[in-house]
Amino acid sequence: MEPPLLEVRDLVTSFRTEEGVVRAVDGVSFQVPARSIVGVVGESGSGKSVTALSILRLIEEPGRIESGAILFEGRDLMGLSEREMRDVRGDRISMIFQEPMTSLNPVYTVGAQIGEVVRVHQDKSRKQARARAIQMLELVGIPAPQERVDAYPHELSGGMRQRVMIAMALACTPKLLLADEPTTALDVTIQAQVLELLKKLQRELEMSVVLITHDLGVVAEYADHIVVMYAGQVVERGPVDEVFASPRHPYTRGLLRSLPSLGSSAHPDKRPRRLPSIEGIVPDLRALPKGCRFQDRCELVIDGCREGTPVLAAIGDHRAARCIRSKELAP
């Protein structure tokens, strides 16, 4: 069997705060198979962005990657020098950051910004970099790329700017794209167009995508695998069709049950679907309960859940869930 393109193993990333050290990512493990889309979902603060930033080793003070392995194309990225890491970033692995407006520089044309990415990683002249920028704008479906290459970000619509972000991220044809909420700021019609584009490019360029989203509908439609995060940990993961058909963690089950009309892309309110709400709130990472982190919101909670810490246990070859009652959820 082909080895996974990326394997995150027992990743722990913490932040020093005034109230002590907070483990924002606490023992996260998952794989990204080659040429696949892995959807990462979880409520706000569950550690999705910190996981993605950790993969690229972009965690800054007061944060720190404490431990874990990030195996990519046969190497552990944790063992690379900062210089070697710079060669990986933007070239082999690239990222679309959660805040799109902060990622495009307002004072440079989009062509200059795409060209810059190419010039950092490849020995290209200005002219070649510009030609590549035009080619990329065309690839991401921006009309009149020869003219738009000289446009400034503010001259483009939100959807077009997001396409430019994708063009920048893919300019060096990376093997892995980390897309952190790439369409959240867009209205639903544009969101679907951008996601369709991402999926098409993922296939054509034979890359893998880690797609971070609040939207389970997006995962259902675009992802091959799902990773469900809760309070800094993976609580369930597996192939999308299997997890959606029979979730094995009460949190996943709750999310799916409260999801309105899955599969229909009609949104009456024209806004992206947010993660459906489950009663209660995510526990404070600084004051986690003993035992399962989901216990206070769980409808299946028993005494055992408040005593031992549940492990992420394998279910067959491809799935896992972190719940002592997981077996009872099997159909």
Q: Which residue's CB is nearer to ligand ATP, number 23 or number 148? A: 23
List binders of ligand ATP among 23-42 (CB under 6 A): 24, 42
Q: How far apart are CA 211 and CA 208, in angstroms?
A: 9
Q: Which of 4, 27, 45, 276 touches ligand ATP by CB under 6 A?
A: 45
Q: How far apart are CA 76 and CA 138, in angstroms?
A: 35
Count of residues touching ligand ATP (by CB under 6 A): 16
Among residues 282, 205, 238, 285, which one has the least CA distance to residue 42? 282
List binders of ligand ATP among 264-293 (CB under 6 A): 285
Q: Tell me which amino acid residue 47 is.
A: G
Instruction: Quote the crossing angle between the two packed helices 188-204 and 158-170, to the nearest 10°.
Output: 20
Q: Which of 31, 36, 49, 208 touches ligand ATP by CB under 6 A?
A: 49
List binders of Mg ion among 77-106 (CB under 5 A): 98
What sign has the CA pseudo-torsion 101, 107, 109, 114? Answer: negative
| Strand ranges, E, within 47-201 | 63-72, 75-76, 93-96, 176-180
List binders of Mg ion among 116-155 (CB under 5 A): none
**Smallest distance, ligand ATP to C-beta of residue 257, A:** 21
Q: How far apart are CA 106 and CA 118, in angstroms?
A: 19
Burial environment of residue 308 by CB neighbours within 10 A (0 to 12, 13 to 18, 19 or more)? exposed
Tell whether residue 36 is a contact of Mg ion (CB under 5 A): no
Tell whether residue 13 is a contact of Mg ion (CB under 5 A): no
Q: Which of 5, 6, 22, 292 touches ligand ATP by CB under 6 A?
A: 22
Q: Which residue's CB is nearer to ligand ATP, number 2 or number 18? A: 18
Interface characters, 53-82, with ligand ATP (x: CB under 6 A): ---------xx-------------------
What sign has the CA pseudo-torsion 193, 91, 62, 26? Answer: positive
Contact 189, 157 (CB under 8 A): no
Tell whether residue 49 is a contact of Mg ion (CB under 5 A): yes
Tell whether residue 44 is a contact of ligand ATP (CB under 6 A): yes
Q: Closest-CB residue for ligand ATP?
A: 24
Tell me which residues touch Mg ion (CB under 5 A): 48-49, 98
Interacting residues toward ligand ATP by CB under 6 A: 15, 17, 22, 24, 42, 44-50, 62-63, 98, 285
